[in-house]
Amino acid sequence: MGLLFVSVYTTLIQVRTIRYHQIAEELRGRILSGAYASGRIMPSESELSTEFDVSRVTIRKALEILRDDGLVDSRQGFGWFVAGETVRQPLARLSTIEEQMRDSGAAPERRVLEFAFEKAPKDVAAALGTQHVLRVRRVNLADGEPFAIVTVWCPADLGQHLSRADVERSPFYELLDVPLAGATQTIGADAATSEESQLLNVPVGSPVLRCLRTTTSVDGKTVLFSRHVFPAHRTEFVVDLPFVDQSIAPSGLRLVD
């Protein structure tokens, strides 16, 4: 009887081991085929547990195999996602999201959600010095996966010659017939709203980076006011901090109450 029990127990362990290896191979195939694209949030452990009719412990073991192979990763607030190159955005120079994506080896794409000439919100009007603006809201994608939600406002007189097709094809920096001097960008951490989670394919409340950018022309006028929302697991902002004698704190940083 004892030998029979040991034999049955050993068989159960072998079946369980084989099962999570089988699940790992199935998920590996989905990743390598592109069904789960780079940066994509994976189905939750609970969803995978239901799909494969196994415990979450078995699913976690399968995912850990894939993590050891560098195919997936996990982060608090996101769960599991397909590993890929993080898009690094240098803050030392003014550049477009598309340029930064190409530098990271990703294929950029943009989808315009809203295009309208309208009255400016109070903060936008104050920044641009006008009540009448063109507002464009879009989703930027990297290799087909949502990478950022961007809303851009420009004075209506500067954008009056632009069409929806124009802003879907090219960035404002290339479309405006104005020489640019640079931009000021403020970056903060936040949680994804319900709408943002749908557009970015991330869980509600997961970490996002919010950026507010004002772009100025060479004559000192603010010509663009924009808001950017990035899923935190897909982007990094890189700041160069050159050594300065007798400096006690990095410049450009401030505390927020």
Over residues 20-34, the pLDDT tens digits come to: 888 888 888 888 887
**Are 237 and 210 contacting, i.e. CB atoms less than 8 angstroms apart?**
no
Common-topology check for domains 2-82 and 87-238: no
For residue 249, pLDDT over 50 is answered with: yes
User: 235-238 and 87-90: which strand pairing?
Assistant: parallel
Name, of 7-11, 136-140, 234-238, the range with top average pLDDT: 136-140
Q: Is pTM beyond 0.85 here?
A: no
Query: What is the CATH code for 87-238?
Result: 3.40.1410.10
Second-level CATH architecture of 2-82: Orthogonal Bundle (1.10)
Name which of 41, 213, 229, 40 is nearest 138 in CA terms. 229
Q: Where are the domains of the chain?
A: 2-82, 87-238
The pLDDT score that the predictor gives to residue 5 is 46
Name which of 162, 152, 96 is nearest 124 in CA terms. 152
Bridge partners (DSSP) of residue 241 are: none
The 3 state secondary structure assigned to the chain is: CHHHHHHHHHHHHHHHHHHHHHHHHHHHHHHHHCCCCCCCECCCHHHHHHHHCCCHHHHHHHHHHHHHCCCEEEECCCEEEECCCCEEEECCCCCCHHHHHHHCCCCEEEEEEEEEEEECCHHHHHHHCCCEEEEEEEEEEECCEEEEEEEEEEEHHHHCCCCHHHHHHCCHHHHCCCCEEEEEEEEEEEECCHHHHHHHCCCCCCEEEEEEEEEEECCCCEEEEEEEEEECCCEEEECCCCCCCCCCCCCCCCCCC
User: 4 pLDDT band (50/70/90 cuts)?
Assistant: very low
User: 120 pLDDT band (50/70/90 cuts)?
Assistant: very high
**Are 234 and 39 contacting, i.e. CB atoms less than 8 angstroms apart?**
yes
Query: Looking at residues 173-187, what average pLDDT do you find?
Result: 89
For residue 67, pLDDT over 90 is answered with: no
The pLDDT score that the predictor gives to residue 3 is 44
